[in-house]
Structure 1
Amino acid sequence: MPITIFIADDHVILREGVVAILGKRPEFEVIGDAKDGQAALEGICILKPDIALLDVNMPKMDGVTVAQIIQTRCPETKCLILTMHTEDQIFFDALQAGVAGYVVKGAGSRELIDAIKIVYAGEMYISPSMTKMLVTHHLQNNQTAPPRHLQQLTNRELEVMHLLAKGMTNREIAAQLFISPNTVQTHRSHIMEKLELNNRADLIRYAVQHNLLKG
């Protein structure tokens, strides 16, 4: 079965371009599109796609608000933001809304395709350029020392946390550290429990805010 996708963007040329790119891939099926947030929300809740590709700035309702509502009304749909915005506040607002991915417009079609597959597989995807910008910003403006309970993490858990926060999947981390994906998942669960985090979005915010992505 192909991965079903709904695309919402008020720019007709961009929306049609994404539809054309994804429509050529046998593993994808674009089942709907919309030019404003309200129409997107209604269409997504009716069609229940696997993935909703959302722009941030849209008439009637912005993409972050759409994503937040979708988490309640049709949580089976994973939201992936596709936007030109690289401001950290918008990014963190999107994470708080529960999005599973954030891709900056201008990324190649290969990155978008990979992002959709990663999000569909249950992982989170963030454009590398976005992560680098956020790390630089927080290293310059946030010198807060890590809280005491960070010391509860083992060296291996710190390694895994660092790679998770950079957007790597369990399999990629396993390959880099020469351990199994199941072991990565175990470390991940321990990290979440020790730091009282709920998901990867929380982990990324934590890592960036406390300067844990250096190196």
Structure 2
Amino acid sequence: MGIRVVIVDDHKIMREGLKSLLTREMDIQVVGEADNGRAATQCVRDLDPDVVLMDLTMPEMNGIDATRRIAADYPSVRVLALSMHSDRRFIEEALSAGAQGFLLKDCAFDELVNAIHEVVADRFYLSPRITGVVVKDYLGRRGRPESASSIRLTPREREVLQLIAEGKNTKEVAFSLDVSVKTVESQRMQIMRKLKTNSIADLTKFAIREGLTTLD
């Protein structure tokens, strides 16, 4: 049996391109696709893949929060982050969430195939450019006290914040998360207290800065 792969990306052309290339590999089988993080967790539950190729910036639920949920609920599934973002924050967040590897979208196809085999073998894989970013950051931090963000949002608060930043109103957020309007209002107030703001614009800026959503 081949390596079972799920492709997660909000751009259909990206999913179709990856699927077309991967199906040429004798030992890789694309068993599913998803266009956001919430759909990705559903795919993992229903299809039991070996590897998830995970985009990071997507609507509804971003790839970092989806990775965190998959790593917690389905620890045998390997998540390989595939992103256009090479800055330290995205790399650190993805790996902390449980990704087994990190590739840039402009990588060669042979590197992607190699990375899939590496994570299936329970080894980590970072593309050379990503390794350079990680090492440079480590050297820059060495000798300095570790700086930790003073703002800690729960996974559910991150989901609520992303949906608010994407322009959804309270009822729409409640519908997306299958919770009550009262619950969403309570979580929104908690987020605002933590961020010390009453401004939706400030919430949106924070969400973009943290990689929960983009300006697209």
Is TM > 0.5 for Structure 1 vs Structure 2?
Answer: yes
Q: Match for residue 8 of structure 2?
A: 8
How far does residue 138 in structure 1 lie from its aligned partner after superposition?
Answer: 4.1
- Alignment partners' CA distance in 1, 2:137 and 2:98: 22
Corresponding position of 2:22 = 22
Letter in 1 for 2:11: H
User: Is there any run of 5+ residues in structure 2 with no aligned partner, and where?
Assistant: 146-216
User: Cα offset for 1:145?
Assistant: 7.4
2:141 alignment partner in structure 1: 142
2:169 counterpart residue number: none
Q: Name the CA distance, whole Å, in 2 between partners of 1:137 and 1:41.
A: 31
Equivalent position amino acid for 2:38 in 1:
Q
Q: Amino acid of the residue matched to residue 80 of structure 2?
A: L
| Residue of structure 1 equivalent to 2:60 | 60
Aligned-partner residue type, residue 35 of structure 1: D
| 1:52 alignment partner, SS class | strand
Q: CA deviation at 1:136?
A: 2.8
Measured in 1, the distance between the counterparts of 2:36 and 2:133 equals: 28
How far, CA to CA, are the matches of 1:136 and 1:77 in structure 2? 29
> What CA distance in whole angstroms lies between the structure 1 residues aligned with 2:91 and 2:123?
17
Task: Provide the aligned length of Structure 1 versus Structure 2.
Answer: 145
TM-score, length of structure 1 as denominator length:
0.64
**Contact residue 37 and residue 61 of structure 1 kept, 8 A:** yes
- Residue of structure 1 in register with 2:46 after alignment: 46
Residue number in structure 1 paired with 2:203: none
Q: CA deviation at 1:133?
A: 2.4
Structure 2: distance between partners of 1:92 and 1:46:
29
Name the SS of the counterpart of 1:92 in structure 2: helix
1:107 match: 107
Alpha-carbon separation, structure 1, partners of 2:38 and 2:138: 34
Question: What is the aligned-residue identity percentage?
Answer: 35
Task: Give the AA of the match of 1:77.
Answer: V
Hey, what's the Cα distance between the residues in 2 that align with 1:67 and 1:142? Answer: 26
Deviation beyond 6 Å, 4+ runs, structure 1: none
Runs of 5+ consecutive residues of structure 1 not aligned to the other structure: 147-215
Please report how far the alpha carbon of residue 137 of structure 1 lies from its aligned counterpart in structure 2 after TM superposition: 4.0
1:49–1:77 contact (8 Å) kept in structure 2: yes
1:78-105 C-alpha deviation (Å, 9 max, x unpaired): 1100000111011111111111010111
After TM superposition, the structure 1 = structure 2 runs for residues 62-81 of structure 1, keeping only pairs within 5 Å, are 62-81=62-81
Helix, strand or coil at the partner of 1:102: strand
Cα distance in structure 2, aligned partners of 1:62 and 1:27: 29
Q: Which residue pairs with 2:160 in the alignment?
A: none
TM-score when scaled to structure 2? 0.64
SS in 1 for 2:89: helix
- 2:56 aligns to what SS in structure 1? coil
Q: Is the 8 A contact 1:9 1:55 kept in 2?
A: yes
Q: Look up the SS of the partner of 1:61 in the other structure.
A: coil
Q: Give yes or no for contact 1:8–1:37 (8 Å, CA) kept in 2.
A: yes
Checking the alignment, whether the CA contact within 8 Å between 1:48 and 1:76 is kept in structure 2 is no
Root-mean-square deviation over aligned CA pairs: 1.5
